[in-house]
Chain A
Amino acid sequence: MGAVWVGPGSPGDPPRVAAMDPGTGPRKERPKPREPAARLEKAKQRSAQQELKQRQRAEIYALNRVMTELEQQQFDSFCKQMQGSGE
Chain B
Amino acid sequence: MTGMAGGGGRGSSRRAAAGKEGGRSRSAQPRAAGGGGSGGGSEEEEQEQQRDGGSLFLVNKSGFPMDGQTWERMWGHVERVHPDGSAVAAAIRSATRLARPSVPPVPNYKLSMSIPEWLQAIQTYMKMLQYNHTGTQFFEIRKTRPLSGLMETAKEMTRESLPIKCLEAVILGIYLTNGQPSVERFPISFKTHFSGNYFHHVVLGIYCNGRYGSLGMSRRSDLMDKPLTYRTLSDLIFDFEDSYKKYLHSVKKVKIGLYVPHEPHSFQPIEWKQLVLNVSKMMRTEVRKELEKFARDMRMKILKPSSAHSPMKERSRGKSLSPRRRQGSPQRRACRRDKSPAVLDKKGDLATLNEVGYQLRI
Is residue A37 within 8 Å, beta carbon to beta carbon, of the partner chain? no
Any chain A CB within 8 A of the CB of B308?
Answer: no
Taking a contact as CB atoms under 8 Å apart, the answer to whether B102 and A1 are in contact is yes
Q: Does A67 lie within 8 Å of B103, measured CB to CB?
A: no
Q: At the interface, yes or no: B309 with Cβ under 8 Å from chain A?
A: no
Partner of B82, one of A7, A67, A78: A67
Asked if residues A64 and B32 are in contact (CB atoms below 8 Å), the reply is no
Q: Mark B23-40, 1 if CB is under 8 A from A, else 0.
A: 001110101100100000
Q: A5-B102, A52-B29, A71-B6 are in contact. Are A64 and B66 (CB under 8 A)?
A: no
User: Within 8 Å CB of A28, what residues of B?
Assistant: none
Report if A59 contacts B (CB, 8 A): yes
Q: Contacts A52-B29, A63-B92, A70-B6 known; A81 to B353 CB distance under 8 Å?
A: yes
Q: Give chain A residues whose Cβ lies under 8 Å from the Cβ of B98.
A: 55, 58-59, 62
| Chain B binding surface, main DSSP class | loop
Bound-state CA distance A67–B92 (Å) is 12
Interfacial residues of chain A within 36-87, with CB under 8 A of chain B in the complex: 45, 48-49, 52-64, 66-68, 70-71, 74-75, 77-78, 81-82, 85
List of B residues within 8 angstroms of A67 by Cβ: 78, 82, 133-135
A64→B92 CA distance, assembly (Å):
11
Taking A49-B32, A55-B27, A64-B134 as contacts, is the C-beta distance between A71 and B219 under 8 angstroms? yes
Q: Which of A60, A62, A74 contacts B358 (CB 8 A)?
A: A74
Instruction: State how many angstroms separate the Cβ of A50 from the closest Cβ of chain B.
Output: 9
Q: Is B17 among interface residues, defined by CB-CB distance under 8 A?
A: no
Secondary structure of the A contact surface, majority rule:
helix
Q: Is the CB of A59 within 8 A of B82?
A: no
A8 at the interface (CB under 8 A from B): yes
**Interface residue tally on A, bucketed by range:** 35 or more
A63-B27 in contact (CB<8A): no
Specify which chain B residues have a CB less than 8 angstroms from the CB of A2 in the assembled complex.
Answer: 99, 101-102
Closest Cβ of chain A to B175, distance in Å, is 18
A81 to B248 CA separation, bound complex (whole angstroms): 13
Known: A3-B99, A56-B71, A64-B133. A49 touches B65 (CB 8 A): yes
Contacts of B103 in A (CB 8 A): 5-7
A8 contacts across to B, CB distance below 8 A: 159
Q: A6-B102, A74-B6 in contact; A53/B353 too (CB < 8 A)?
A: no
Interface check A19, CB cutoff 8 A: no
Q: Which residues of A contact B354 (CB under 8 A)?
A: 78, 81
Question: Which residues of chain B are near A52, meaning CB under 8 Å?
Answer: 27, 29, 31, 65
Q: Does A57 contact B99, Cβ atoms closer than 8 Å?
A: no
Q: Which A residue sits closest to B247, measured CB to CB?
A: A75
For B29, the closest partner residue in chain A by CB is A52
Q: Does A4 contact B (CB under 8 A)?
A: yes
Nearest-neighbour CB distance to chain A for B21, whole angstroms, equals 13
The answer to whether A56 and B102 have CB atoms under 8 Å apart is no
Interface residues of B (CB under 8 A from A): 6, 25-27, 29, 31-32, 35, 64-66, 71, 78, 82-83, 88, 92-93, 95, 98-103, 105, 130-135, 138, 159-163, 219, 248, 352-355, 358, 360
| Interface residue ranges, A against B (CB under 8 Å) | 1-8, 45, 48-49, 52-64, 66-68, 70-71, 74-75, 77-78, 81-82, 85
16 A-B pairs besides A66-B82, A68-B130, A81-B355 with CB distance below 8 A are A2-B99, A2-B102, A53-B65, A54-B100, A55-B27, A59-B98, A60-B162, A61-B101, A62-B92, A62-B95, A74-B6, A74-B358, A75-B360, A81-B354, A82-B353, A85-B352
